[in-house]
Each structure stands twice: as C-alpha cells, then as structure tokens.
Amino acid sequence: MAGFAAVGPGTDLGRHAQELARVRDAVLSGTRSTSPLRPVVARSWARTLSAGVRPDVANARDPLKVGEVERRRRDSRLRLVVEELASVVEPVAEASHFLLVLTDADGVILWRRGAAAVRRQADALGFEEGALWTEEVVGTNAIGTALAEQAPVQLFSAEHFEQHQHPWYCTASPIHDPVTGDLLGVVDVSGPAMTLHPAVVALVGTAVRLAQLELRRQHESSLARLREATEPLLTAAAGPHLLVDEHGWVARAVGVRAPERVAAPCAGLSQRVLGLGLCVPERLGDGWVLRARPDDAVVRARLVGGDRPLLTLDHAGEPWSVGLSARHAEVLRIVAAAGPAGITAAGLGRALFGDDGHEVTARAEVSRLRRVVGALVESSPYRLSDGVELLHG
C-alpha cells in the first residue's frame, strides 16, 4: 500500500499543495505542466471528466434517507467489525484530527467516527453518512478512486478533482470478505490536508487487516456452531464425507483428507471433490454434507445460447438447469474451450475484453459464475472440473 502514498516523510505540505494547485490549473486549462499528475490521479481525472463532473463547484450531494442507511448497515458484514475498528482508531482520532469512514461496496458512507471538529467540517463538505462518494458523483476522491481502481489510494489537496475538497487528504483501501472474497466496501481515513502524516497509510492498512482478522474469527466460530449443531445427526453417518458451510468451507472431514474449502454447494447439482469423487450435496441444518456417489459417471452439461442462455445437465437421471447471463455464458464457453490446461485470470480477461488490465474483473466474473454453477468450474487455472463435458446448442 505504501506505493500509493501521496506524500513522503519530510514533505513540505504547504509547498506541495501549492504545486499541485498549479498542476491542476494547467491540466484543466489544457496547457503543459512541468510536474505531471501521479498516474493513479491522471486515470481518475480522465474518468471524472468523462462523467461530466464539474471541478469548480460542489457537485450535488443527496444523502440517502436514514431508513435506507440503516438497511444498508444491517446488510453489511462490516457491521460486525465497525465497533472494533472504532475502539482502535477513536483514541487517536481527536488528537490527530481525522475521521474513520466505512462505506459499502457502492461507495455509500455507512459509518463515520472521529474528531468532532473534523466531523463538522466534513458535514459542510457533504462528507456524511448516507452520501455517495463515487468518482461519478463527486469526482476524484480516495473512496471512489479506490473502488474504481480496486486498490488502496491516497490523495492530497488539489489531487482531488473538486476544488471544495482541496483542504482535505484522504486515504482509502477496499476491504474484501475473507470468507467469500466479495467486496464489502472501503475503509477510509480523512482529515485536514495540512495534518497529513505518512503513518496514515499504515493506519489504514492496519484497519483493513484488523477487520479481516475479526471476520475470519467470527467465521471460525460459525463453523464450530455448525459442527456442534450437526454432530448428533452425523454420529452414525456411514462412509467418508465432508460437512461444509454455505460457502464451501469445511467444518468437518470424516474418512478423507479435506482441503480447507471446496466449491460452494448447489442443491441438486453434482460436484467433484478431491478424495471423494462425484458428490451430490445434502442439506443439513445451516450447512451441507458431501458424500461419494456410487456412480461416478461423466457429467454432461449443455449450454443453449440466445438472449437468455440456459445451462442444463442430467447426471444419473437427475435433471438440473439454470439461467445464465450473456457474460457468464461467454465465460463458460471460454473456460471450456481452454481444455484441461485451463486459462489464467489474465488470459480470461484478454479473451473477454480484448486487452490487458482486466484480471480483477475476470476473477470477479468467475466468482459470480461459480455461485450459480457450483463446482462445474475449477480455479487456478480456470477450467471445467474433471468428468464434466460441455456441449453447445
């Protein structure tokens, strides 16, 4: 994350802010500047200009109603860690004049903690709970740019596109769920520009790690509860089997050397598990039991294209079908065409978009596809599972 720092130790913040203001004026007027913008800022400004955001006015802020903010908080897994993060950060926030902000994956501010004086300044900027802070709405800012770049970002003073944000610094990092891999939102630390300290970068990184550690701890507790709740039902279970949660994390393994995680089960859909062979998930409480099937035949799936692609399969007389989006159908075709050798995330990104730089997007598409088709698709590299054949038409 240190590579995204906007200033280094010993930087004269006042002089640096003045230089950035000159660079900004030159860029916006179309003249050449002797000090170019950092690449992350230049990319963001290009996106912001394309979105029609105005640089010299306070663009519209329309915070969501309190009820909608509360709903988003209830739906966010960051609710499980916000108090722990606040307990770590708040003792130093007042003295250091900054705010800790957590957003959801859309960029809506859900929680804001920190120095009271800085909160009042943030209110005047529209940097408040319920406000949407994406590049398309308020221009280049660490929250919106971290979401767009899918990487940590720090911005200082006139690196913000909107002039009203120049008195601020902000440092933000996306945070992903360690259980599902889903983007949960953004952790941000913001404050008056002239109070920026290089240690803020480390502070944000620490906040992300703390949140992910706490989410892992809570997940381990949920696996323990699943084991305890199902133990009476599995005590007499015959043969090797796995007990897994909704996301495929293994809670118990009997008679088989299990990985930490398998593909998330789908009701009625066969999946191949290392050490067990072909299994059909059986719902048990809040989890699934995976047992070896006696008939370990090939699974033949058929993908029918058109405006509404449909994937169907029939294994051992058990029909199953699911609708796919056009993009997911395309991903499935590319993965199948790669054969047993499979295709990397970078290769899939090139196949989907025609150029490099889409590796993160490709991973996200496969992650969403696997939630629909389960273990038909393997990862590292992406390929059809052993024993799966894909037919077309």
Tens-digit pLDDT profile for residues 206-227: 999 999 999 999 999 999 999 9
Instruction: Decide: 261 and 269 in contact? Cβ < 8 Å.
Output: no
Tens-digit pLDDT profile for residues 50-106: 999 989 877 778 899 999 999 999 999 999 999 989 888 888 888 889 999 999 999
Instruction: Provide CB contacts within 8 A for 293, sequence distance 6+.
Output: 270, 277, 278, 279, 280, 316
DSSP structure class, residue 281:
-
pLDDT exceeds cutoff 90 at 181? no
More confident residue, 351 or 233: 351
Tens-digit pLDDT profile for residues 20-52: 999 999 988 888 777 788 999 999 999 999 999
Helix or strand run (H / E) with residue 284: strand 282-284
Q: Tell me the DSSP string of 330-374.
A: HHHHHHHHTGGG-B-HHHHHHHHHSSSS-HHHHHHHHHHHHHHHG
Instruction: Decide: 17 and 7 in contact? Cβ < 8 Å.
Output: no
The structural domains of the chain, ordered by start, are 2-217 (3.30.450.40), 237-296 (no CATH), 299-392 (1.10.10)
The order of strands in the sheet holding 109-114 is 109-114, 99-104, 183-192, 168-176, 153-156
**Residue 380, Ramachandran bin (φ over 0: left; ψ between -120 and 50: alpha; else beta):** left
